[in-house]
């Protein structure tokens, strides 16, 4: 992965250099008899000169020892230290894999520590992190596939994907009755496999397939699809759905004696809606590898920190959102209700889970002249510029500009969302016009992404319309243009910098393909 990184350009004076590394704080390691365990260190660097990290394993004496596996050209073992030189480039969450072995005299229950320290010639020294290693007696399933890759593979609706799923028992005892669990984001539809259980939740579809028998130390298992003609393809098959769009994840979990309750907390938080066991569908088999150490007694899992991995696909597809306007009439002092919103008129489903907490779709409301907001629509906040240049943001009435988000996590094709604003008419103006649009001077205009059909991106909110007056979908004009333009200019003049919420990024554990110590 390092080989593909671009070189860092010359440092700018205002670019703060940094380097960091992280790994699991507590590591369970099988006793003597384990084949060794891959430990992944995730590293980041920005404008750092000679970035590097060191592992000081003095505190592991008599307990365990790190080794540098074949293929790791960045790290060297020097005495009690492992020193890893990183490329001088900008990168985030790049894995460096080392292997941990129990020492010959280590006994079950022994504990030790190692320190992880990062540094660069031009970055300040940060405190080293301390990590604990405990020698345990039992099985230790370590996921070896899928392996997260960057950039993520691009796919399109209708594509058939086979996501590899494999693990190795890195413990010193056999594992019994394991389960291979795959979790598919909406938009990635897995095949039906005879004998597997399918659980629908609010977000992922969970597929659990049994692994019969015991898995000896050093032995691995791999999921293999068997088609109607008997052809075998490694991995679990799935089809990219017609309405899929953007970042879609597929995750894999391997546990001995596992049940759905062993899944990550973020999955457990999603209510189950339906669980079924497939009695028909494609065939599969769990391909075995020969054990390197013989053990007859099955033991429970000793370290669940490395039973998980994931991969992502980027689905290329189009999408189209249309704004929904409204009309109302009344005299001075009357309060009218306008229902405004957005409709998904495209072919793709928008997904709030992949927007860093942002709603699946957003829209904006510029209030018509001669009216005052006395009731704010659900999911909407006013935005305005204070006299001191700061930006106000609160669901309060009486403002001119409102930023709204839908309350649905998945916004599917054909669905609509509206919210109700109550407007008090303060002055009767014939055909007083406000707008519903995706234009927001308080945010980066690229959020949400502009769609390919701008013709339905603006709708009118008209109070006391003229007979035969024009309908929605017209461009921003007149006083409303002045409002948006003046707010935008004020933001620039005040030097206001707005930061958008960062995309949610998964942390995945990456280990060598064979998961062993070689």
B/e letters for 131-170, b = 16+ CB within 10 Å, e = fewer, are bebbbbbbbbbbbbbbbbeeeeeebebebebebbbbbbbb
Of 30 and 262, the structure prediction assigns the larger pLDDT to 30
> What residues contact residue 67 under an 8 Å CB cut-off, 6+ apart?
36, 77, 98, 99, 100, 101, 517
Taking the C-alpha atoms of residue 273 and residue 191, their distance in angstroms, rounded to an integer, is 19
CATH of domain 1-137: 2.60.40.10
Of 426 and 280, the structure prediction assigns the larger pLDDT to 426
Residue 383 has pLDDT above 50, yes or no: yes
Q: Considering only 22-26, 256-260, 282-286, which range has the smallest mean pLDDT?
A: 256-260
Tell me the mean pLDDT in the region 454-473. 80
Residue 471 has pLDDT above 80, yes or no: no
pLDDT value at residue 32: 86
> What residues contact residue 135 under an 8 Å CB cut-off, 6+ apart?
29, 30, 31, 63, 64, 102, 106, 107, 108, 109, 110, 111
**In this structure, what token pair is assigned to residue 92?**
């985030």
CATH of domain 138-317: 2.60.40.10
Q: 464: number of CA atoms within 13 Å, CB side?
A: 19
- Tens of pLDDT, residue by residue over 37-79, are 889 899 999 999 999 999 999 999 999 999 998 888 899 998 9
Tell me the mean pLDDT in the region 451-461. 92
Strand residue runs (E) in 282-361: 283-288, 308-315, 321-324, 326-328, 335-344, 350-351
pLDDT value at residue 467: 76
Domain ranges of the chain: 1-137, 138-317, 321-494
pLDDT value at residue 243: 96
Residues in the chain: 518
Of 433 and 353, the structure prediction assigns the larger pLDDT to 433
On whether the CB atoms of residues 78 and 105 are closer than 8 A, the answer is: no
- Tens of pLDDT, residue by residue over 197-212, are 999 988 899 999 999 8
Taking the C-alpha atoms of residue 158 and residue 149, their distance in angstroms, rounded to an integer, is 22
pLDDT value at residue 427: 97
Taking the C-alpha atoms of residue 339 and residue 476, their distance in angstroms, rounded to an integer, is 19
Of 90 and 223, the structure prediction assigns the larger pLDDT to 223
Tell me the pLDDT band of 259, cut-offs 50, 70 and 90: very low
Nearest alpha carbon to residue 411 among 501, 317, 346: 346
- Tens of pLDDT, residue by residue over 67-113, are 998 888 899 998 999 999 999 888 888 889 899 999 999 999 999 99
CATH of domain 321-494: 2.60.40.10
pLDDT value at residue 2: 57
Same fold, 1-137 and 321-494: yes
Q: Considering only 4-18, 60-74, 384-398, which range has the smallest mean pLDDT?
A: 4-18
The alpha carbon of residue 144 and the mean position of all alpha carbons in its chain are separated, in whole angstroms, by 20
Tell me the pLDDT band of 16, cut-offs 50, 70 and 90: confident
**DSSP 8-state code for residue 15:** -
Q: How many CB atoms lie within 10 A of CB 498?
A: 11
Tell me the mean pLDDT in the region 328-339. 97
**In this structure, what token pair is assigned to residue 278?**
């497939």
How high is the mean pLDDT of the chain? 82
pLDDT value at residue 438: 92
pLDDT value at residue 14: 46
């Amino acid at each position: 992965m390092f080989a593909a990184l671009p070189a860092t350009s010359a440092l700018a004076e205002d670019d703060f250099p940094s380097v960091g590394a992280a790994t699991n704080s507590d590591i369970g390691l099988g006793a003597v008899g384990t084949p060794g365990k891959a430990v992944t260190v995730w590293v980041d660097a920005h404008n750092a000169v000679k970035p590097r990290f060191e592992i000081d394993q003095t505190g592991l004496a008599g307990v365990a020892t790190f080794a540098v596996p074949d293929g790791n050209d960045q790290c060297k073992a020097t005495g009690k230290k492992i020193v890893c030189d990183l490329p001088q480039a900008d990168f985030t969450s790049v894995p460096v894999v080392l292997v941990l072995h129990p020492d010959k005299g280590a006994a079950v229950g022994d504990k030790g520590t190692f320190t992880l320290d990062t540094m660069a010639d031009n970055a300040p020294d940060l405190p080293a992190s301390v990590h604990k290693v405990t020698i345990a007696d039992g099985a230790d399933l370590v996921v070896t596939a899928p392996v997260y890759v960057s950039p993520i593979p691009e796919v399109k609706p209708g594509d058939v994907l086979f996501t590899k799923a494999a693990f190795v028992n890195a413990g010193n005892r056999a594992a019994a009755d394991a389960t291979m669990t795959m979790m598919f984001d909406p938009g990635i539809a897995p095949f039906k496999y005879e004998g597997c259980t399918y659980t629908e939740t609010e977000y992922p579809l969970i597929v659990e397939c049994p692994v019969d028998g015991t898995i000896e130390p050093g032995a691995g298992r791999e999921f293999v699809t068997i088609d109607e003609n008997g052809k075998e393809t490694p991995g679990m098959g799935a089809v990219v759905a017609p309405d899929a769009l953007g970042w879609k994840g597929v995750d894999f979990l391997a546990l001995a004696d596992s049940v759905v309750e062993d899944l990550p907390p973020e999955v457990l938080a999603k209510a189950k809606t339906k669980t079924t066991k497939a009695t028909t569908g494609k065939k599969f088999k769990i391909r075995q590898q020969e054990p390197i150490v013989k053990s007859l007694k099955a033991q429970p899992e000793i370290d669940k920190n490395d039973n998980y991995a994931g991969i992502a696909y980027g689905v290329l597809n189009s999408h189209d959102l249309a704004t929904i306007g409204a009309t109302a009439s009344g005299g001075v002092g009357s309060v009218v209700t306008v229902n405004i919103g957005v409709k998904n008129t495209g072919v793709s489903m928008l997904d709030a889970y992949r927007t860093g907490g942002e709603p699946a779709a957003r829209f904006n409301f510029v209030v018509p002249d001669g009216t005052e907001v006395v009731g704010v629509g659900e999911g909407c906040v006013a935005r305005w510029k204070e006299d001191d240049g700061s930006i106000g943001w609160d669901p309060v009435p009486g403002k001119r500009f409102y930023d709204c988000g839908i309350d649905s996590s998945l916004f599917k094709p054909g669905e609509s969302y509206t919210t109700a604003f109550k407007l008090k008419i303060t002055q009767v103006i014939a055909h007083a016009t406000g707008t519903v649009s995706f234009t927001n001077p308080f945010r980066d205009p690229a959020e949400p992404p502009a769609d390919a059909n701008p013709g339905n991106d603006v709708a009118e909110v008209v109070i006391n319309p003229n007979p035969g007056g024009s309908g929605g979908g017209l461009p921003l004009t007149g006083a409303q243009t002045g409002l948006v333009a003046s707010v935008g200019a004020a933001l620039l003049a005040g030097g206001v910098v707005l930061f958008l919420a960062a995309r949610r990024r998964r942390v995945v554990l990456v280990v060598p393909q064979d998961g062993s110590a070689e």
